[in-house]
Amino acid sequence: MLRKIIIIAVPYLLMFLFAYTSLSKLGDRSFFSSQLGLYPYIKHIHVFLSWALPLTELGVVCLLLFPATVRIGLYVSLFLLLVFTAYLGAMVLAGVHLPCSCGGVMRKMSWRQHILFNGFFIVLTGYAFSQWEGTGPEKIL
């Protein structure tokens, strides 16, 4: 029973997470872009990323909306979460102290808190993806 609840809930949690962060970033895109411009390794492409990241996140929301594309949406979500977390880890290890450029209340998290938050979603998403693969929504229920 818990397995079914997790598998069904994770796509909805991810939709909320990515919709919230992407709309927050787009709602204050100039701030988001200026924050990205401060970050090492990506400052030379910050304007592109200020559009590409939130639009990609909205694309993931769309993938997670439809049963036929949920598995792909879970895969892309997992990939994005891993990339974001790896970048955060690199920033922490490098000792760089910059504010989080994520949207909304997530901006208030420390980088370490953000890594833990992402880690939680990575575990949930990985589990849901591993259980979804080959089963499809009709067999889960």
To the nearest 5 percent, what fractions of the chain are helix, strand and coil? Answer: 85, 0, 15
First-residue to last-residue Cα distance in the chain: 10
Residues 6 or more apart in contact with residue 89 via CB below 8 angstroms? 115
What are the sequence ranges of the domains in the chain?
Answer: 2-140
Amino acid 21: pLDDT: 92
Check: pTM over 0.85? Answer yes or no. yes
Q: Using one digit for the tens of pLDDT, what is the confidence trace for 65-94?
A: 999 999 999 999 999 999 999 988 887 887
10 Å Cβ neighbour count for 54?
A: 22
Q: Using one digit for the tens of pLDDT, what is the confidence trace for 22-78?
A: 999 999 999 989 988 888 788 899 999 999 999 999 999 999 999 999 999 999 999
